[in-house]
Homo-oligomer: A and B are copies of this chain.
Amino acid sequence: MDATINEVCELIGGVLSHGDGDIRLIGFASLEDATGSQLSFYASEKFEASLKKTAAAAIIISEGLDGSEAKDSVFIKVPDAALAFDRIVLEYGEKPPEFVPGLASGSHVDSSASFDASKVSVLPGAVVLKNATIGDGTCIQAGAVVGERVTIGKDCDIGPNVTIREGCIIGDRVIIHGGTVIGGDGFGYEFENGRHRKVDQMGIVRIESDVEIGSSTTIDRARFGETVIGEGTKIDNQVQIGHNAIIGKHCIIVAQCGISGSAKLGNYVTLAARVGVAGHIEIADQVTVGGKSGVISSITEPGGTYFGYPAKPMKETLRNEMRIKKLGGLLNRVKGLEKRLEGLDVDK
């Protein structure tokens, strides 16, 4: 963004309250983050504390709010500052690349792959192997590898350097970010004669529609059958999901979580960052697990909040932590008791 305050005013149909409309604005940010040449917005009194401290050159403000505490900023009054700011983001924000259908020069597509080249976009360096199928409106970004017999639905975005291994199935409107690997082998060995013998991993990964998966996440293929990511589930960066895991619909799995093989998550489960889930256990619908927790036994009751390692109902873990905090005092109290008993000379 590089525009004058007047230009911004015009774009969002606002009214300049005072100050110089010719000042150039270089970028935009929240009140907290904005520098002295940036635009911000103030849409609710909730953010009054940030308003007092902001360095923003100009602030879009909702009618009815009092911005007088930010004296050094120019104000642009509008009916709804949040809405107006969305307009700014849309105008000046970094837009995703335009969808350009066709096979780019430098893309490598096997002649047996099945899709409508006038409706699919395959960028340079991307590879589509034998008998893969790709739906209309899908983009295979640069350097991505679509394995043999992979099926990808409509309007998907397969990110740069993503790997989708043979036979995996991807629904519609699925977004997969850079470097993620779908369908690597599950981690399975038999110990025989002092060596680990590989157990063939002959299942697949199935990702249902409207799933989004972050960068450098790994989802392993099933031993046989399917590892499943349910419809509408959103997975962050650097998440590991083991073979035969079944993730329900509309779950939220934050960065660096690890879900072991054959674990089953219900629908609307939320795992905060770095949660570990042990193999072969189940987590009921709508359960929330706090950050860095380790779930090592099944959670069968829907809807609760769990925390700790091993993960327990949040209250229980917090109560335990409170008790540990009191340990210093407890030690002193026991010392006191011993002293007083000493005084009583009880053993005589």
Contact = CB atoms under 8 A, between A and B. Distances in A.
A256 interface: yes
Contacts of A244: 33
Copies in the complex: 3
Contact of A327 (B142, B215, B320): B320
Given A108-B105, A189-B252, A234-B189, A346 B340 contact: yes
A163 B184 contact: no
A333 interface: yes
Interface in A97-153: 97, 104-106, 108, 123-127, 129-130, 141-145, 147-149
A21 interface: no
A144 B143 CA distance: 8
Contacts of A256: 240, 256, 258, 276
B105 A106 contact: no
A250 interface: yes
Given A142-B129, A237-B184, A93 B292 contact: no
B167 A178 contact: no
A104 B177 CA distance: 27
Nearest to A310: B321
Interface in A322-341: 323-328, 330-331, 333-334, 337-338, 340-341
- Dominant secondary structure of chain A at its interface with chain B: loop
B221 A94 contact: yes
B187 A225 contact: no
Interface string A256-269: 10101000000000
Interface in A152-200: 159-163, 165-167, 175, 177-181, 184-185, 187, 189, 194-196, 198, 200
Given A185-B177, A254-B187, A276 B273 contact: yes
A28 B223 CA distance: 11
Interface stretch (A57-65, A202-210, A297-305): A202-210
Contact of A337 (B104, B210, B242, B337): B337
Which bucket holds chain A's interface residue count? 35 or more
A108 B142 CA distance: 10
Query: Which 8 pairs between the two chains have the least Cβ-Cβ distance?
Result: A93-B202, A108-B124, A106-B108, A163-B178, A94-B167, A178-B181, A184-B215, A181-B215
Given A181-B237, A278-B291, 17 more contacts: A90-B200, A97-B130, A108-B142, A123-B127, A143-B144, A147-B160, A179-B181, A195-B210, A196-B232, A214-B220, A216-B216, A218-B237, A255-B258, A319-B328, A337-B338, A341-B341, A343-B346
Interface of A: 27-30, 33, 38, 89-90, 93-97, 104-106, 108, 123-127, 129-130, 141-145, 147-149, 159-163, 165-167, 175, 177-181, 184-185, 187, 189, 194-196, 198, 200, 202-204, 210, 212, 214-216, 218, 220-221, 224-226, 232, 234, 236-238, 240, 242, 244, 246, 250, 252, 254-256, 258, 260, 273-274, 276, 278, 291-292, 294, 296, 309, 319-320, 323-328, 330-331, 333-334, 337-338, 340-341, 343-344, 346-347
6 contacts: A97-B148, A97-B166, A108-B142, A143-B145, A334-B334, A340-B346
